[in-house]
Structure 1
Amino acid sequence: MPRSSADEIVLSYNDAVLRKSDLGILNGAYYLNDRIIEFYFSYLSSLHPSEHILLVPPSIAFWIMNCPDISSLTDFLQPLNLPSKKLIIFPVNNNDDVAVAEGGSHWSLLAFEKTANVFVHHDSYGGINKNHAKRLYKTIVPYTNVPGTRYIECDCSPQQVTGYDCGLYVLAIAKEICGWFDSDLPKNEDSWFARVVMRVKPEVVSGFRVEILELITSLRGTN
């Protein structure tokens, strides 16, 4: 059976693949899917090439949080080499059903920073994903091999003004955290939070769809 035009691949970037339907999501007022978030995380990894930074794809973050056999995670996580990372960023989705691909209705972000020894949850919609983020934190923290790690719900996280931009906030916040990590700013949550609050404004996020579309266009031109 022939593929529909919506399934047409428009860009392969590292391990991420974008299809024509993904461009439609970015062109409208729609909830971001896994592929777009994976692509932008992959782009940030290229923009900040460091063995100490890890941006975890949505599918891997989802499986860590929902894996029915926790004992199997040791082998699953070994290639990620988590103890060597100083900054790890996870997308958090509130889908609880491992049988449903790309389910859920909200994205948020969980970040681990090793110097401050802290996991921080950024939620752009009043913390509705906090239980999912806490579950991910409790699952992953033993594999970082860092004792005494703290968990923080960031109460100053920028808040979305629409019902569909949560994924854009995840990408915008991830961008600023990576920029903060590569800067000369002190490595503590205060300077991190200040940068996110200052730079991730609704008017910035509202233009982020166009920015990502322009990025895709430029990368297609170099392929």
Structure 2
Amino acid sequence: MASSMQDKVALSYYDSLLRESDVALLIGANWINDKIIGFYFEYLEHELFSDNRDQVCFITPDVTQFIKIYNGPELSMFLDPLGLSDKDLVLLAVNNNASSEHSGGSHWSLLVYVRKENTFYSWDSCHSLNLLPSQQCAQKVTPFLSVPSQPVFSEVPSCPQQTNGYDCGVFVLLFAECSCSVHLRDSSADKTLQSINNDNCVQFRVRCLELIKKLSLN
């Protein structure tokens, strides 16, 4: 791993800071990290779905990890400013790391709350591997949604599955785009789901690299 002196900043974008080592994870068979996921969540919020910013909240991996691990007033400090009670759609990038002190984990999945259905949907590209941490996050977030009844928790039926051990994070980002397109733009769910597979993961990595390069020149 390059030292912080050698690991140059590749992009500063809103609250995201990507270094060259982060961007390199998009090349080849690599497991993408929380920095890449956080950056793309920012891009979805500020660019692709900027017209819907009042309706949707993208909760980044670092905040999601805090939600999963901690209780009490600290949780309110993070979640109250997000105004979740006014959001139609809430997306969280969930990791199966159980430590409050160390980074790690082996799998990413997406948790989406849809207000009009009062349902949490777990999008997991590896069957139910992240079921427990997703349920933990849903339980922690629920009090901040201001809903009249307990939300339903559901695993997405026919959720596209990865066929390798490293594309889970890319699937999360494709799932996030799909969810926003379906619930904010009324796109066809079946058509959108058909566009998510391992070939699309390869294409996404290339597209994301080009996007980072383009934004870095602005």
Question: Which bin holds the TM-score, normalised by the shorter protein?
Answer: over 0.9
User: How far apart are 1:197 and its partner, in Å?
Assistant: 2.2
Give the aligned partner of residue 13 of structure 1: 13
Give the aligned partner of residue 209 of structure 1: 205
Deviations 1:149-191 (A, max 9, x none): 2110113110001100000000011011112233235xxxxx5
Q: Which runs of 4+ in 1 moved over 3 A?
A: none
User: How far apart are 1:147 and its partner, in Å?
Assistant: 2.6
Task: Tell me the secondary structure at the aligned position of residue 163 of structure 2.
Answer: coil
Give the aligned partner of residue 143 of structure 1: 144
One-letter code of the match for 1:210? V
Cα distance in structure 1, aligned partners of 2:63 and 2:183: 23
Q: Gaps spanning 5+ residues in structure 1: where? A: 186-190
Give the aligned partner of residue 29 of structure 1: 29
Give the aligned partner of residue 55 of structure 2: 52
Question: Do 2:178 and 2:193's aligned partners in 1 also have CA atoms closer than 8 Å?
Answer: no
Task: Tell me the secondary structure at the aligned position of residue 217 of structure 2.
Answer: helix
Cα distance in structure 2, aligned partners of 1:37 and 1:184: 24
Cα distance in structure 1, aligned partners of 2:4 and 2:77: 36
Question: Do 1:108 and 1:124's aligned partners in 2 also have CA atoms closer than 8 Å?
Answer: yes
Give the aligned partner of residue 40 of structure 2: 40
Q: 2:177 aligns with which of 175, 178, 186?
A: 175
Query: Which deviates more, 152-161 or 104-113?
Result: 152-161
Give the aligned partner of residue 160 of structure 1: 162
RMSD over aligned Cα, in angstroms?
1.5
Give the aligned partner of residue 111 of structure 1: 112
User: How far apart are 1:99 and its partner, in Å?
Assistant: 0.6
Cα distance in structure 2, aligned partners of 1:199 and 1:108: 18
Deviations 1:72-108 (A, max 9, x none): 322331111110110110000000001102x100000
Query: Which deviates more, 43-52 or 11-20?
Result: 43-52
TM-score, normalized by length of structure 1? 0.90
Give the aligned partner of residue 188 of structure 1: none
Give the aligned partner of residue 130 of structure 2: 129
Cα distance in structure 1, aligned partners of 2:81 and 2:204: 32
Deviations 1:24-68 (A, max 9, x none): 11112111111000000000001212211111111001100111x
TM-score, normalized by length of structure 2? 0.92
One-letter code of the match for 1:159? Q
Cα distance in structure 1, aligned partners of 2:129 and 2:197: 20
Give identity over the alignment, percent.
35
Cα distance in structure 1, aligned partners of 2:137 and 2:4: 36
Query: Which deviates more, 198-207 or 160-169?
Result: 198-207
Cα distance in structure 2, aligned partners of 1:3 and 1:109: 30
In 2 relative to 1, CA 119–3 (structure 1 residues): closer, same or farther, beyond 3 Å? closer
Give the aligned partner of residue 78 of structure 1: 80
The answer to whether 1:198 aligns with 2:194 is: yes
